[in-house]
Structure 1
Amino acid sequence: MKIYCGLLLLLTMLATPSFSSRRGGLGDEHFFRGKLFYHHHNSLGSTLETQASPIGDPEKVQTLWYNQKLDHFTPSDTKTWRQRYYVNDQFYKPGGPIFLMIGGEGEATDIWMSNGAWITYAKELNALCFQLEHRFYGKSHPTPDLSLESLRYLSSQQALADLASFTKAMKDTYNLTSNKWVAFGGSYPGNLAAWYRLKYPHLVDVAVSTSAPLLAQLNFKDYLGVVRDYIKVTNSQCNEQIQEAVERTQGLLGRRTGWWMISKNFKLCDDLDGSNQMDVASLFETLAGNFEGIVQYNVDNRGFEGSNTANITIKTLCDIMVANDAKSSAFERFVKVNDLMLNAYGKNCTDFKYTKSVKDMQQTKWDSDAASGERQWTYQTCNEFGFFQSSDLIDQPFGNLFSLNYSVRLCKDVYGEIYDQKFLENAIEWSNAYYGARDIKVSRVIFVNGSIDPWHKLGITSQNQTSSENVVIFINGTAHCANMYPDAPSDIPALKAGRQEILHQLTEWLTN
């Protein structure tokens, strides 16, 4: 489920169980099914040299707590919990708009309260800025643990009701009686931003919905199609070399000596049993994830928040795969890519064991590794969205060993037998019916997507897909949530123009 934007992401995304190079564990950063999760957030002091100073003053940011209802849909349930939020009033002038950054499937961070494109807009438009952390992520713990009994309070509907309750409370607390509200979100929070405007139009006047996969889908096999296409644009020989390497790796599964070679070359944390289909699926999903994560976040300026992979691009990986080195094979270069990603994620070995993954994901304590977001986000995908990036697309170079069945099995093994494919299909159908998918009937939403981002396949990318009361911005050459990150000297003209178009549209809607 590859999805996360960093601020969420605000998502993003996404990203597993017995955590490998894409599955976190010991390092600060890991990519899990479309999301980047951070166990610890680095300070702004560790930014890239090319990153400009924060737009706002980090010292002006307040960290506060809101007493939130546990269950918004059961009036007799009066339980409450403390939800974390941030405030920056540095640029606010009376009568200015209220900006609300929606948290998502990862820990919220105060870095985004003094940086990012939305802070540029806040400075220009004299906005008061809030960021509300999503229930069950970061430090916002509604329940004592992450048991299934507790996770029943984790849903997008409860999250939207949190936003509504918070908005009403802030209006009273800050005497914001006539100010206009703008919701911001990227990836899954991009969905929430649009859905907040849909379900609570009396509380939010405008939404900026970035990289939002509005269409819930069980088998998101087109994800690999976008990865394949961008790899081809980057280097016409790269897909061919990846496919040759994958086929060689698959060929080694046929004998025990091959299992040993795979274990040794890819630095597996455990010996590989090539007859174990779930372990094999997990391994090949991880090896594909080395490329997926880099494509999804390609050249997006994540370095300002301490991302270890910000300087690695798909060109970096393809330069390895097509190196003019007659002494190395495609397989050996594929191994070099994995070595690079292990180093970037701070890992000593590639963890792939399916049973270990399931065991980790079943942990219910808040201090477990999976509590950084993997258990919670996977629960949401199994209950609401799907978004499973399988290898079922025929014309792609990563093989066919991590099918939809692998993701469905993971839902069942982690959360219970009820989570079979029929359950998932019904849950996804309900979500699309409840929100409208890409046929969402809403107004004054700015839908932003990038052509490199695989998630644009599930979003609104052209004006003819939505009402003229909305604005669609599709930026060629940018990745997941790229428009939300701070300006960088390396930004392409289309990205700069996209940010300016967002500011222009906000100005128009907020002044009329």
Structure 2
Amino acid sequence: MLYFNQNLDHFTFTPKSYMTFQQRYAIDSKHWGGAKANAPILAFLGEESSLDSDLSAIGFLRDNGPRFKALLVYIEHRYYGKSMPFGSAEEALKNASTLGYLNAEQALADYAAILLHVKEKYSTKHSPIIVIGGSYGGMLAAWFRLKYPHIALGALASSAPLLYFEDIRPKVGYYYIVTNVFKKTSERCYNTIRRSWQEIDRVAATPNGLLILSKKFKTCAPLNGSFNIKDFMDSIYAEAVQYNRGPSYWVTSVCNAINANPPNRKIDLLDRISAGVVALVGNRSCYDTNMFAQPTNNNIAWRWQSCSEIVMPIGYDKQDTMFPTSPFNMTSFIDGCESYYGVPPRPHWITTYFGIQDVKLILRRFGSNIIFSNGLSDPYSVGGVLEDISDTLVAMMTKNGSHCQDIGLKSKGDPEWLVMQREEEINIIDSWISTYQKDLQILKS
């Protein structure tokens, strides 16, 4: 692990902006072809996670580094992992005054500074850089290519919901995909889940109803209301769909448990729903209904980002039929964020700064060398770029793909469509690098 002395604020020239913090990154030069050959650099742009988890989960660079003879660079996002300004996570995540330096624009500038530092360190002025990211990191990769084309030759933006903002809302939302994947997996399972919400509310309204629910779902803490268990189940179903992939295929596991008829035991509707929880997260002595929203440093940092500029209008619309209807309400969202942080979100800033309205019209003549990859079984794919914009702005879709599946680690059990998708991505990136190397030779001669 390496550390870079990073500026706190890249965009102002006040005394405080010259404060610095230690930003973590890692380099793997094992297969690099060297500066003389202008061998490429593959750079992973960190998302709302620690560098440690990225290094263990992201396989695209490691799997393809030898083929490209590439230098591999992994960069941790500011305010995540150990890349904390102000000396500690406690201080950095304290309030809006310190969190105010956590945004996508500052993160992109961080990446630019580190990548230029790496090129200088390895004396490799003409090595082309391909940036790679997934989910929010995929958004960063695409934006980086558009904002810093002099640094990045191209970008692979995996499962990047670039079009999931207020000004450009998708026709259907996140929970439409969650609903459809469950329904296609098992109509019976889908109907059981659909009926369960009303049953949870019915039981909760009875005398000692919350205690009954707490015992049935083996919650670690007493329930304050039916919302606790419904929010928990929402997260279970969303998680199962978002990361539904082999060898376990979580949605199938959840539905098999919900549909099962155990011998010698009569089970009711909520027993079935509880069995789905066990299938996904395992048999435990108790279940923390906040397990998907623990106040970890990463979650605290992401809550700020989603309450400031990464405002995605995700709600439960009429077509999301597995869930009770509850559309996203921007007014309520803004009020909630402002009451929590003392500052309101800027829901239109991302589309203003990055200009992703009319993406096909604008990028056709402006952008180049970006792969937008999406699995159509990923709920975030509804906000992805799903059509080719030009010959070099390519949308790559797979019917059964889940969230960021293409940039994960390769395994022998990978389905053929995933192997083919990755091969196509590699070939496109290889063509960018080949064209660049030819241009470089022409300009040098």
* 1:197/1:395 CA distance change after superposition, 3 Å: closer
Offset at residue 410 of structure 1 (A):
5.0
* 1:488/1:404 CA distance change after superposition, 3 Å: farther
SS of residue matched to 1:289: helix
Cα deviation code 1:261-312 (max 9, x no counterpart): 21221223333344xxxxx4343121111111011011167xxxxxxxxx46
| Superposition pairs of residues 99-110 of structure 1, within 5 angstroms | 99-109=42-52
Matched, 1:242 2:193: yes
Deviates more, 1:167-176 or 1:63-72: 167-176
Matched, 1:260 2:211: yes
Aligned twin of 2:19: 79
CA–CA distance in 1 between the matches of 2:42 and 2:296?
28
SS of residue matched to 1:384: coil
CA–CA distance in 2 between the matches of 1:462 and 1:400?
29
| Superposition pairs of residues 225-304 of structure 1, within 5 angstroms | 225-274=176-225, 280-299=226-245
| Higher helix proportion | 2
Aligned twin of 1:430: 349
Offset at residue 341 of structure 1 (A):
4.2
* One-letter amino acid matched to 2:275: K
CA–CA distance in 1 between the matches of 2:180 and 2:97?
42
Aligned twin of 1:411: 337
Offset at residue 498 of structure 1 (A):
0.4
Aligned twin of 2:142: 194
Is the contact made by 2:57 and 2:409 (CA closer than 8 Å) also made in structure 1?
no
Identity %: 28
Offset at residue 402 of structure 1 (A):
8.9
Is the contact made by 2:190 and 2:322 (CA closer than 8 Å) also made in structure 1?
yes
Structure 2 length as normaliser, TM-score? 0.86
Aligned twin of 1:500: 423
Offset at residue 489 of structure 1 (A):
2.7
* 1:407/1:317 CA distance change after superposition, 3 Å: farther
* 1:129/1:217 CA distance change after superposition, 3 Å: same
CA–CA distance in 2 between the matches of 1:263 and 1:398?
21
Cα deviation code 1:93-126 (max 9, x no counterpart): 1221011100110111277379612222211010
Aligned twin of 1:322: 259
Is the contact made by 2:57 and 2:408 (CA closer than 8 Å) also made in structure 1?
no
* 1:342/1:487 CA distance change after superposition, 3 Å: closer
Offset at residue 236 of structure 1 (A):
2.2
Offset at residue 437 of structure 1 (A):
2.7
Deviates more, 1:141-150 or 1:263-272: 263-272
Regions of 4+ moved over 6 Å: none
Count of equivalent residues = 413
Is the contact made by 2:43 and 2:132 (CA closer than 8 Å) also made in structure 1?
yes
Q: 2:128 aligns with which of 176, 180, 193?
A: 180
Larger radius of gyration between Structure 1 and Structure 2: 2
SS of residue matched to 1:290: helix
Is the contact made by 2:223 and 2:229 (CA closer than 8 Å) also made in structure 1?
no
CA–CA distance in 2 between the matches of 1:403 and 1:350?
26
Deviates more, 1:236-245 or 1:324-333: 324-333
Is the contact made by 1:268 and 1:352 (CA closer than 8 Å) also made in structure 2?
no
Structure 1 length as normaliser, TM-score? 0.75
* One-letter amino acid matched to 1:153: Y
Q: 2:59 aligns with which of 89, 97, 116?
A: 116
- Asked which structure has the greater RCO (Cα within 8 Å, sep 6+), the reply is 1
SS of residue matched to 1:287: helix
Aligned twin of 1:483: 406
* One-letter amino acid matched to 2:5: N
Q: What's the C-alpha RMSD, in Å, of the aligned pairs?
A: 2.6
Which stretches in structure 1 are left out of the alignment for 5+ residues? 1-62, 275-279, 302-310, 362-368
Is the contact made by 2:133 and 2:140 (CA closer than 8 Å) also made in structure 1?
yes
Q: 1:126 aligns with which of 66, 69, 92?
A: 69
| Superposition pairs of residues 317-396 of structure 1, within 5 angstroms | 317-324=254-261, 327-343=266-282, 348-351=286-289, 370-387=295-312, 389-396=314-321
